[in-house]
Structure 1
Amino acid sequence: MTSPLDHITDHRIIPVVVIDDAATAATLGDALVDGGLPLAEITFRTSAAPDTISTLADRGDLIVGAGTITSVSDVDAAVQAGASFLVSPGLSQAVVERAAEHNILLIPGAVTATEVQRAVEWGVRTIKFFPAETSGGIAAIRALSAPFPAVSFIPTGGVTAMNLADYLALPSVVAVGGSWMVERSLIATRNVNAMTQRTTDALRIVRAYEKENAA
């Protein structure tokens, strides 16, 4: 059975979603599936997040995670809603431990060597590098990868279609997180065509990069 992390590393992009109305979840799901990227991180930044996760998870054709997980109660709520993986903007031992109790993948955030080392001590091997661009971007990830060769990074924050391939060129980067494909305004207006096209275009960049760099 393919794990959530396998899905993430296969597709190389996690659409990061801020949604205000769970009634628009169906349109979002249609756009992602039609665009070839059946994967989403629904951030716990709005009250619509739990119902949105439930709606998308019930479809059966999407891998749905919960983002902006900052507390133990967030972990519990996301698991109850049906999330398959969790993403946190920072590093919290309590959150790491509760996710482990639920046996669910957690990708915590870290940007310094101290944070990465602490995450490794807690058994974490895949880290969200956030906010990527304002924390040193590609150069910072390259530098951190030297002392932590067993750690994989998912840069998020400032990643766009313009620099997507540059981040993927780093051996330690297994995927990126980004919201440009599923902007909040596009979800609110149910602009399925725009979301589908942006998703397709993003995946085209990924596949072109992979083809160009295939051994």
Structure 2
Amino acid sequence: MYKKIEEVKLLPLYTATDLTLLDRLEEILIKNEVRFIEVTFRSKLAAPAIKKLSASGELIVGAGTVRTLEEAKIAVENGAQFIVSPAVVPEVIEYCIQQELPVFPGTATPGDIQRATEYGIKVVKFFPADIYGGLKAIKALSGPFYDVKFLPTGGISQENFTDYLQNDSIIAVGGSFILSEDMFREDEGKPADENLRQLVSQIKNS
């Protein structure tokens, strides 16, 4: 899982409020060879969206904004293959370890990262990246935490994401700048397709 996401380098963060858009979403992800999607628990449609996107087996679908054990269990029951949390949530981490499921706990400080590593976790979410120092902070944190990889989200954009990816401590970047529902509502999703195509091209050319 970690190797695959490091190859793709992009983790789209998606909040579903319209399930009719998911077929087009899956099609565009596959077309652009970005087979990862993080469906957030920021809407009541998170579980059915995870289930629908997982059905074909073409995508690696994860659940994001997972703050409770109940949400983690619902996500897994509906096909989630990884879990992303906004913070270090012990009961979620312990459940994922029991299920042998990759989990990316949200961290922002040395204390957060240390707590995550005590569970044997070697890849952490860094959130919100822009508020907590961005790339400069990650460079500083990767000194003492030389064996930890980071997945920054929050404040990442098309203008700065390649700067992050040039750092060896960063496995990938995540965010809604990659894909969002609004991009699918116009012109049969063509803006979403074009945006993702441009991001993939930037990675190849950086």
TM-score, scaled relative to structure 1:
0.92
Q: Whole-Å Cα distance in 2 between the matches of residues 147 and 82 of structure 1? A: 36
User: Quick one: structure 1 residues 156 and 190, their matched pair in 2 at CA, closer, same or farther if it must change by over 3 Å?
Assistant: farther
Query: For residue 160 of structure 2, what is the aligned residue in structure 1?
Result: 163
Does 1:24 pair with 2:32?
A: no
Q: CA deviation at 1:93?
A: 1.0
Query: For residue 139 of structure 1, what is the aligned residue in structure 2?
Result: 136
Residues 13-52 of structure 1, C-alpha deviations (whole Å, 9 max, x = no match)? 1000011022221111112112221210000111111111
Query: For residue 213 of structure 1, what is the aligned residue in structure 2?
Result: none
Q: Whole-Å Cα distance in 2 between the matches of residues 14 and 82 of structure 1? A: 17
Report the 3-state secondary structure (helix = DSSP H, G, I; strand = E; otherwise coil) of the residue aligned with 1:64: strand
> Is the Cα contact below 8 Å between 2:81 and 2:101 reproduced in 1?
yes
Does 1:43 pair with 2:25?
A: no
> Is the Cα contact below 8 Å between 1:32 and 1:195 reproduced in 2?
no
Query: For residue 205 of structure 1, what is the aligned residue in structure 2?
Result: 202
Gap regions ≥5 residues in structure 1: 210-215
> Is the Cα contact below 8 Å between 1:126 and 1:154 reproduced in 2?
yes
Residues 93-125 of structure 1, C-alpha deviations (whole Å, 9 max, x = no match)? 111101111111001100100110111111111
User: Quick one: structure 1 residues 190 and 75, their matched pair in 2 at CA, closer, same or farther if it must change by over 3 Å?
Assistant: farther
Does 1:106 pair with 2:103?
A: yes
Please, which of 56, 64, 80 is the counterpart of residue 83 of structure 1?
Answer: 80
Q: Structure 1 residues 178-187 or 49-58, which shifts more? A: 178-187
Give the aligned CA root-mean-square deviation in angstroms. 1.3
> Is the Cα contact below 8 Å between 1:36 and 1:199 reproduced in 2?
no
Q: Whole-Å Cα distance in 1 between the matches of residues 12 and 159 of structure 2? A: 16
- Give the letter for the 1:199 counterpart: L
Query: For residue 120 of structure 2, what is the aligned residue in structure 1?
Result: 123
Which has the larger share of helix? 1
Q: Which has the higher contact order (CA 8 A, sep 6+)?
A: 1
Report the 3-state secondary structure (helix = DSSP H, G, I; strand = E; otherwise coil) of the residue aligned with 1:41: strand
Query: For residue 54 of structure 1, what is the aligned residue in structure 2?
Result: 51
> Is the Cα contact below 8 Å between 1:131 and 1:157 reproduced in 2?
yes
Residues 158-200 of structure 1, C-alpha deviations (whole Å, 9 max, x = no match)? 1111001110111100100021131232245574211111111
Query: How many pairs does the alignment contain?
Result: 206
> Is the Cα contact below 8 Å between 2:184 and 2:191 reproduced in 1?
no
Residue identity over aligned pairs, in percent, reads 33
Query: For residue 170 of structure 2, what is the aligned residue in structure 1?
Result: 173
Moved over 3 A (4+): 187-191
